[in-house]
Each structure stands twice: as structure tokens, then as C-alpha cells.
Amino acid sequence: MSERSLEVLAPGALTTVQDLGRPGYAHLGVTRSGALDRPALRLANRLVGNAEDAAGLETTLDGVGLRAMQSCRIAVTGAEALVTVAGRAIAWGSAVPVPAGAEVVVGPALRGLRSYVAVAGGIEVEAVLGSRSTDLLSGLGPPPLTAGAVLPLGLAGDAPDEGSAVPRVRDAVLHLDLGPRADWFSADALAALEGATYEVGSASNRIGLRLTGAPVERERGGELPTEPMVLGAVQVPPSGQPVVFLADHPTTGGYPVIGVVREADLPVCAQARPGDRLTLRVVGGAAAERDRRPRS
């Protein structure tokens, strides 16, 4: 067993290796994938002295348990959680040393959903198409963590100076650019989106955030030909319940996209738990066209 490694003791509900993803392959049917809360991963990497795009771990709800096979530095960001090293609580959101053989436990999320664990040197599993990210939809990248798995680490650089970066508390708001298929919906339906509140559904995952609330009514019948999908696209299936496409989304789809969530708000989606309530704000795109359309 390599000394520069982590042993997985308790994988949690879903812990995956994630970096900033593999953009540029949508034409091959491969989505970007990568960390859902990109700012949280970037911050964790900066804290331990890694490049911001180094691979770390993304936990889901109930954390992860690890053993360091050699002394290292770690930082945990994203969803706040109790973190212990060798049984002693450590500061969340800062870099801390871990002795060789010590157990690291990231507990259940106290606020938010996904925590990010960065280790000095980064997780160096085999890269696929330039990324070490796990893509749950396509199966690319390493599988989700299992007990007993061993994760190789890269060589650590110098410890960074103490930083002043503090994780930002994000409002439960999604800002929406209307389009490209806003014309499939009535003026009243589009107007109702502004300030609408939806609950996060239990079937949400890394592929999409399912919202439940007032149905968004179509103005047109029929179906669209399959067309490309982008990160943050808000698709409206026949049920009228919107779905926000996240990092592992399919690259094509056939339901109309009423709008696209701005990238700055995607971390809100990453940390939203089932039952949380999110408010939509229409800020651009086809909004001006919507305002010019007569009400029926």
C-alpha cells in the first residue's frame, strides 16, 4: 500500500472524487461533471496549498471516514460539519495537519448537503479525458468510494500563508435567464416564475435538482426534437415541475428549457437538501420579450 494515500474506512451515503470537471466533450455526449459546489472545492484546495483544480472528495449528507497512511494536511469546506482527527475536533474551513495513521472523520452535514475534503497533493486517481471526476450518469472516472478503497495522493507543495477566505453564506435564491424555449409558455406562466418558491424534491441528485410546487403550464403542445442541454438548464417535463440540470446532466434532452440558472447560483443547488425551499428570480434572457407579450 502506498504511503502517500488515504484508506477509506466509511464511505458515507455517496462520496466521490471530484475536480473542476472535463469541459469540452459535450459533442461526444460527455458532460462536464466535476464538483457541484465549485467555489467550495476551490477554497479547500487553496487552503492546503493545491492548485484550485486539484481533485478532492465530495461527500453527501453524512460525511466520510478516512485514514491517513502518511502525515498530510487537510481542509474541509462546503456544508458545515463536525470534523475530527484522531478523535479530536478540528476547525472547519481551515487547513490542519494529520499525523500518519490518524483517522479523519467528516461528520453529517449540519448545514447544507455536500462537504469538500482537500488533501495536500490532491487525490491522484487515474484521469479520464483530463479529469479525475466521477460522472454518475456516464460512469466515467473512479467509482464512488467504498470501504477499504485506497486513494493515492500527489506530492504536497509548501503550506500556503494563512488566508482570510471565509465561505460565503448563500441566499436560497436562483437567478434565472429566460430561454431558449420560453416561447413554449404563456406570458402568465412566465410572469409567475418571478418570486415563485419551490421545494427541493427527494429524487434530486448530481444529475438534476427536482423542484416541486406550482406547475409551470405550457402554451404549446407536442414535443421538441432532442437538442443540446447546458449546465443550469431548467427543463419543464409534462408534469410542469421544473428540473435544474446539474454537473452530471445529460448532454441532450427533449423537454422545453424555460430558462437557465446563472452559474453563480449553482452552489445553492449543490447545497440544497430535500425539503428546502428555493425562490426563483427572473433577471435576464427572454425577460424583456416576456414583458412585451400581451396577457391572454
State the CATH number of the domain containing residue 187. 2.40.100.10
* Residue 19 belongs to domain spanning: 5-152
* Strand partners of residue 174: 280
Quickly state the pLDDT bin for 175 (edges 50, 70, 90): very high
The answer to whether residue 159 sits within a structural domain is no
- The answer to whether residues 225 and 254 belong to one domain is yes
- The answer to whether residues 29 and 116 belong to one domain is yes
- The answer to whether residues 96 and 180 belong to one domain is no
- The answer to whether residues 220 and 146 belong to one domain is no
Residue 284 is predicted with a pLDDT of: 85
Which of 87, 118, 152 lies at the terminal end of a domain, its last residue?
152
Residue 287 is predicted with a pLDDT of: 46
> Residue 279, Cβ neighbours under 10 Å: how many?
14
Indicate if the pLDDT at residue 103 is higher than 90. yes
Q: What is the mean pLDDT of residues 133-149?
A: 96
Residue 64 is predicted with a pLDDT of: 98
3-state secondary structure of 189: helix
- The answer to whether residues 184 and 143 belong to one domain is no
Which of 95, 123, 152 lies at the terminal end of a domain, its last residue?
152
For residue range 231-285, list pLDDT tens digits in order. Answer: 999 999 999 999 999 999 999 999 999 999 999 999 999 999 999 999 999 998 7
- The answer to whether residues 20 and 130 belong to one domain is yes
The answer to whether residue 56 sits within a structural domain is yes
- The answer to whether residues 68 and 185 belong to one domain is no
Q: What is the C-alpha separation between 252 and 227, in angstroms, rounded?
A: 5
Residue 286 is predicted with a pLDDT of: 58
Quickly state the pLDDT bin for 290 (edges 50, 70, 90): very low
Q: What is the mean pLDDT of residues 124-131?
A: 97
Show Cβ contacts of residue 289 under 8 Å, excluding neighbours closer than 6 positions: 178, 182, 183
- The answer to whether residues 72 and 112 belong to one domain is yes
* Strand partners of residue 282: 176
The answer to whether residue 241 sits within a structural domain is yes
- Give φ, ψ of 134 to 5 degrees: -80, 125
Which of 86, 118, 152 lies at the terminal end of a domain, its last residue?
152
Residue 237 is predicted with a pLDDT of: 94
Q: What is the C-alpha separation between 95 and 47, in angstroms, rounded?
A: 6
The answer to whether residue 251 sits within a structural domain is yes
Indicate if the pLDDT at residue 217 is higher than 90. yes
The answer to whether residue 118 sits within a structural domain is yes
Torsion, Cα of 83, 69, 67, 157 (10° steps): 30
The answer to whether residue 161 sits within a structural domain is no
The answer to whether residue 158 sits within a structural domain is no
Question: What is the grid cell recorded at 174?
Answer: 436562483
Average pLDDT, the chain: 92
For residue range 194-212, list pLDDT tens digits in order. Answer: 999 999 999 999 999 999 9
Q: Give percent of the chain with pLDDT exceeding 70.
A: 92
- The answer to whether residues 139 and 216 belong to one domain is no
Amino acid at 224: L
Cα distances (angstroms) measured from residue 183 to each of 63, 218, 240, 279 = 43, 9, 15, 22
Residue 162 is predicted with a pLDDT of: 58
Q: What is the C-alpha separation between 296 and 293, in angstroms, rounded?
A: 9
- The answer to whether residues 36 and 139 belong to one domain is yes
Residue 221 is predicted with a pLDDT of: 80
What total number of domains does the chain contain? 2
- The answer to whether residues 43 and 148 belong to one domain is yes
- The answer to whether residues 116 and 246 belong to one domain is no
The answer to whether residue 163 sits within a structural domain is no
Lowest model confidence (mean pLDDT) among 164-178, 180-194, 201-215: 164-178
